[in-house]
Amino acid sequence: MVLTLLPSSSMPSLSIWEIFSFDSFAHAFMFAVLTFLMVVGFKKQYTYMRVQLHAIRSAFFVSSMFGIAIELLQHFFILGRQGDIVDVLSNTIGCILGVLLFKWIYEL
C-alpha cells in the first residue's frame, strides 16, 4: 500500500493501450497474489467459521475494496497522484484471477 501512495512526477495520459501496459499487468499480478493468499488464509483459519465458509467471496470483496480504497486515497489525499479507473479495473481483474488460481490449484 505504501508504494502505491508514493507521489509520482508524471502520470501517463489515458488511452486504450494503457489497459495493456506493464503497469496494468503489475496491478493485476499483485492483486491476484493478494486474493489467492487471502483465500488460502481464510480457508485455513478456524476462529471465524463464517469467513472460512465464504472464503472466496470474502477475499474477493476485501481485496477489491482495498484496490478501490487505494485509488481513492491517491485521488483525494496524495499530492501529485490521481486515482485511475484503469487501475481499479486491473485490480479487479487480478482479484478474479486470484480466485480462479485458487480454484484451479485447490479444487481440482
User: Among candidates 21, 35, 18, which has minimal Cα distance to 95?
Assistant: 35
pLDDT at 23: 82
Q: What is the mean pLDDT of the chain?
A: 86
- pLDDT for the residue numbered 10: 46
Contact criterion met (CB below 8 Å) for 32 and 94: yes
**pLDDT band of 79, cuts 50, 70, 90:** confident
pLDDT above 70 covers a percentage of the chain that reads: 81
The answer to whether 89 touches 19, Cβ cutoff 8 Å, is yes
Q: Where along the chain do its domains lie?
A: 21-106
pLDDT digits (tens, 9 = 90+) for 38-49: 999 999 999 999
Q: What pLDDT sits at residue 16?
A: 56
